């Protein structure tokens, strides 16, 4: 049994959710520079790629890169946890907005309608891997331009798939959520706990 895992994510929300489960973890993230740039490149969408295939492929690539990082740094072996979240309207993938204009376009597209939030999670050791996918649905009330502009000005859309975080002030415009709230935040706790048990992690 293992008492510690590596989290290959810079998301403070994922750290918070692992703490909620009581899972001891150390960060295993890319170093600044070329390694960080390579990690960002993993999230590029392939032509015609569907949201579920995309998020699972990116998570598997993150795990592969984290295994190599662990070996290169000579750290003690332990299971590695990776996750990726994307927002989708039908077949259209809404990633992290590059700028205010892209964030505005995403929020307008989400306004007054339902969308899916897909979060893939993977746990891997040097020899084995386990993976799961959580799909939730979120419905937004209509968002007017004044609200959208104020939200963009707050800086909260940036670094987040679909240009929003469910735990932000926009929660006041979400009348319905179906699925896993923790997955929408970035880490599905039920699926994560199952995978960690399969990897023989004690928590």
Return the active site residues.
84
Q: Are 182 and 21 in contact (CB under 8 A)?
A: no
User: DSSP characters for 106-127?
Assistant: HHHHHTTSEEEEEEEEEEE-SS
Rounded Cα–Cα distance for residues 183 and 133 (Å): 9
Torsion angle in degrees (nearest 10) through CA of 34, 38, 40, 41: 140
Strands 80-89 and 5-7: parallel
The two structure tokens encoding residue 138: 């979120």
Q: Is 76 exposed, middle or buried (0-12, 13-18, 19+ CB in 10 A)?
A: exposed
Rounded Cα–Cα distance for residues 62 and 129 (Å): 12
- Displacement of CA 27 from its chain's centroid (Å): 15
Rounded Cα–Cα distance for residues 51 and 67 (Å): 25
């Amino acid at each position: 049994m293992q008492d510690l895992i590596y989290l290959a994510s810079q998301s403070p929300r994922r750290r918070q959710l692992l703490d909620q489960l009581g899972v001891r973890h150390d960060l295993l993230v890319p170093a600044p520079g070329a390694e960080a740039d390579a990690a960002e490149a993993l999230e590029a969408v392939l032509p015609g790629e569907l949201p579920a295939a995309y998020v699972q492929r990116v998570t598997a690539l993150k795990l592969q890169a984290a295994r190599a990082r662990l070996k290169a740094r000579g750290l003690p072996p332990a299971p590695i946890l990776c996750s990726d979240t994307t927002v989708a309207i039908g077949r259209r993938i809404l990633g992290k907005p590059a700028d205010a204009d892209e964030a505005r376009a995403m929020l307008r597209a989400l306004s007054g309608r339902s969308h899916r939030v897909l979060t893939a999670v993977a746990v891997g050791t040097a020899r084995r891997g386990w993976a799961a996918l959580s799909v939730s649905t979120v419905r937004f009330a209509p968002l007017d331009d004044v609200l959208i502009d104020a939200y963009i000005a707050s800086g909260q859309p940036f670094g987040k798939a679909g240009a929003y975080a469910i735990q932000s002030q926009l929660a006041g415009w979400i009348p319905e959520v179906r699925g896993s709230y923790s997955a929408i935040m970035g880490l599905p706790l039920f699926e994560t706990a199952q995978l960690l048990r399969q990897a023989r992690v004690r928590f």
